[in-house]
Amino acid sequence: MTNTFYDEVGGHATFEKLVREFYRGVEGDPTLRALYPEEDLGPAEERLRGFLEQYWGGPTTYSQERGHPRLRMRHMPFRVTPDQRDRWLLHMMAGVDSLELDAAHDAMLRDYLTRAAYSMVNAWED
């Protein structure tokens, strides 16, 4: 059996740390925090972690609970501006920094997250 990216980087614990660090940044960023109507960011954290784990070859819990990811469609109801994208990337890359992955895995993760963030932009003015 071939190991997946998920397995190679440490599985659940790694993605839990990544998403926890990301949301720590969101919590302190009023512009991004305003995008989350829930007082508790826990459910958003669970959704993002589940999505990322599934994407990288981990458990398929996300699809079992929520259906196909349809990333762009799920974000379409929200205005996603270049500023929000950049703020999202700032906090997500801080999360990646916290993982101290080897160079190859680090580059793959950063590349995917950057491409995903750019693809979510649907409003060009703040």
Q: What is the pLDDT of residues 42-89, one digit of tens each?
A: 988 999 999 999 999 999 887 766 665 555 444 445 678 999 999 999
More confident residue, 2 or 76: 2
Report the distance separating Cα 75 and Cα 78, nearest Å. Answer: 6
1, two tokens:
């059996």
Q: Flag whether pLDDT at 93 surpasses 60.
A: yes
Instruction: Provide CATH code, domain 7-120.
Output: 1.10.490.10
pTM: 0.87
Q: Considering the chain, what percentage of its residues have pLDDT values greater than 90? A: 63
* 3-class secondary structure, 42: helix
Cβ–Cβ under 8 Å, residues 96 and 109: yes
Cβ–Cβ under 8 Å, residues 112 and 64: no
For the chain, give every domain's residue range.
7-120
Quickly list H helices, the chain.
Answer: 5-8, 12-27, 30-33, 42-55, 61-66, 71-75, 82-99, 103-120
